[in-house]
């Protein structure tokens, strides 16, 4: 087979559904993006519609495959945020809101309504908590399920027959297969292969009804990411997506893990990086968007306090995964910049120059630094504590809030630029905090591999390198999450005998500038 055959990767992020047509060499031919609605019916409640999400995925796939024949597409893979989808016995949406709109049936990953339930689960000190850093996060599924049972029992819990992680909903919608991905079940639901579900955990937290019919509501069967599901695309799904029935569909991944898969195995020959000629356990993947995930793999199980995992084969077959993270990164930067009094001035100046507002801010900081001194030093008297949406890792404290120290009465564009810089620096120091926690428990990480929307911001990337003192590597294929999703389809197509990590070229390397 040559260049004429392709794979489709579908990525459902927080605010959009994207698709890419990818060659068998891992090169992206075309991409497209469709916006997604987000509702916030109450503070800390964030919900979406699985119906809309599927429709947007179908529109995106039809668009990227418009220029090729259906039989040229050999496989498709899906990744998505770890949001919770609720369906009834007829696979129809069930509302997760008090208002009862049935189309609003997805509890988003960043929904923090279940903080009290998460704390109660943590207080059980159950053995499964050792695999999530000792603390149950409200961003995982057990506390969200418990919240639904305790607060929407009649309107939601009693009607629900299927609870899906969003990546598994997409693969079910495509194939009709109820098989879940090991990635989602292990990382967000406390599933632990080879034993599987721990009955005592669900009983201890008050969710014993999920044991019915061999856990049919949350998944009786699990498969490694990239495993072929069902008979491929059903006739209905094929029609929706504009592809052939039977096209191979791989078991899905969480979106961050698809990005990790897309970058962590990059070919680094000739770049004189410390990870060259070393196993991929010397690398950490950072997937930076609305939030950031810090993914590292190891040959043995490493338990890192405040960091999720270890999860066996959740991203790379045969290796244990640890997952640190920051709940608000891109969203925090947007929040800080857009809420500043000088934001309208920034918008106006950026528009006049035909620039993105962050490109303009980066240029503005360079001009403020003058005399060639690093822009980093400009933030020496302004400090941000970045946990505006709680701390995911390594403190694992969702109750924490953000803080800014060093504000004055000024609200000029210079002040906005400095606050923007201080926020980026705070996020980079958060990465350092996570790295230090991982190293203390046995990880030997020497190089950071980065992808996602924030990896396109040169200042964000440089400050991460400065703070960690490590090379930060960017891939040639910048849309690594989409490549990772396409790898799932390629693996399912059986054209490749094993899941091989994408061998992407390096685009650039940024290292520490400040001594």
pLDDT of residue 375: 81
pLDDT-derived band at 229 (thresholds 50, 70, 90) equals very high
What secondary structure, in 3-state letters, does 429-464 show?
A: HHHHHHHHHHHHCCCCCCEEEEECHHHHCHHHHHHH
End-to-end CA distance of the chain: 51
Residue 315 φ/ψ, nearest 5 degrees: -130, -55
- Give the pLDDT mean for 231-257: 97
Percent of the chain beyond pLDDT 90? Answer: 88
CB 449, CB 470: distance < 8 Å: no
- Give the pLDDT mean for 52-66: 98
- The pLDDT tens digits for 285-313 are 999 999 999 999 999 999 999 999 999 98
pLDDT at residue 504 above 90?
Answer: no
pLDDT of residue 496: 67
- The pLDDT tens digits for 77-94 are 999 999 999 999 999 999
pLDDT-derived band at 109 (thresholds 50, 70, 90) equals very high
Angle at 284 (CA atoms; ends 460, 223), nearest 5 degrees: 120
- The pLDDT tens digits for 393-450 are 999 998 999 999 999 999 999 999 999 999 999 999 999 999 999 999 999 999 999 9
Question: Mean pLDDT across the chain, nearest whole number?
Answer: 93
pLDDT at residue 258 above 80?
Answer: yes
pLDDT of residue 2: 45
Q: Which two tokens stand for residue 109?
A: 């990953």
Pick the range with the lowest mean pLDDT from 5-19, 136-150, 361-375, 424-438. Answer: 361-375
pLDDT of residue 509: 33
pLDDT at residue 42 above 70?
Answer: yes
pLDDT of residue 497: 55
């Amino acid at each position: 087979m040559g260049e004429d055959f392709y794979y489709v990767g579908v990525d459902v992020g927080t605010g959009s559904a994207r698709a890419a047509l990818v060659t068998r060499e891992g090169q992206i031919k075309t991409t497209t993006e469709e916006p997604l609605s987000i509702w916030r019916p109450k503070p800390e409640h964030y919900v979406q519609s699985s119906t809309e999400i599927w429709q947007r995925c179908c529109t995106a796939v039809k668009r990227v495959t418009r220029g090729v024949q259906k039989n040229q597409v050999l496989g498709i893979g899906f990744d998505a945020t770890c949001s919770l989808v609720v369906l009834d016995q007829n696979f129809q949406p069930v509302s997760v809101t008090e208002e009862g709109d049935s189309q609003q049936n997805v509890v988003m990953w960043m929904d923090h309504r279940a903080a009290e339930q998460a704390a109660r689960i943590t207080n059980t000190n159950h053995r499964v908590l050792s695999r999530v850093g000792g603390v149950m996060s409200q961003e995982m599924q057990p506390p969200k399920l418990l919240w639904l049972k305790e607060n929407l029992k009649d309107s939601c819990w009693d009607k629900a027959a299927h609870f899906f992680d969003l990546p598994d909903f997409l693969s079910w919608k495509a194939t009709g297969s109820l098989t879940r991905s090991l990635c989602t079940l292990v990382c967000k639901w406390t599933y632990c292969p080879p034993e599987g579900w721990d009955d005592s955990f669900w009983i201890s937290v008050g969710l014993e009804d999920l044991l019915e019919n061999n856990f049919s509501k949350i998944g009786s069967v699990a498969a490694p990411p990239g495993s072929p599901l069902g008979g491929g695309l059903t006739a209905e799904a094929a029609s929706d997506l504009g592809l052939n029935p039977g096209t191979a569909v791989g078991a899905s991944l969480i979106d961050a893990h698809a990005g990790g898969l897309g970058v962590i195995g990059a070919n680094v020959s000739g770049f004189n990086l410390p990870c060259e000629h070393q196993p991929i356990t010397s690398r950490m993947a950072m997937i930076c968007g609305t939030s950031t995930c810090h993914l590292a793999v190891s040959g043995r199980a490493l338990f890192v306090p405040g960091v999720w995992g270890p999860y066996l084969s959740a991203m790379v077959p045969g290796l244990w995964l640890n997952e640190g993270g920051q709940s608000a990164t891109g969203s925090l930067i947007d929040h800080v910049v857009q809420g500043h009094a000088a934001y309208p001035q920034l918008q106006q100046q950026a528009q006049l120059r035909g620039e993105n507002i962050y490109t303009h801010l980066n240029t503005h900081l360079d001009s403020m630094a003058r005399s060639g001194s690093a822009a980093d030093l400009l933030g020496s008297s302004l400090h941000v504590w970045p946990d505006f949406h709680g701390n995911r890792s390594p403190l694992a404290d969702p109750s924490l809030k953000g803080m800014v120290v060093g504000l004055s009465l000024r609200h000029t564009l210079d002040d906005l630029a400095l606050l923007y810089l201080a926020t980026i620096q705070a996020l980079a120091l958060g990465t350092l905090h996570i790295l230090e926690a991982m190293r203390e428990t046995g990880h030997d990480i020497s190089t950071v591999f980065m992808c996602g929307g924030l990896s396109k911001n040169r200042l964000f990337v440089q400050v991460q390198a400065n703070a960690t003192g490590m090379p930060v590597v960017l891939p040639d294929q910048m849309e690594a999450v989409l490549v990772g999703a396409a790898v799932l389809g390629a693996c399912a197509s059986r054209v490749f005998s094993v899941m091989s990590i994408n061998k992407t070229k390096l685009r650039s390397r940024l290292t520490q500038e400040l001594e």
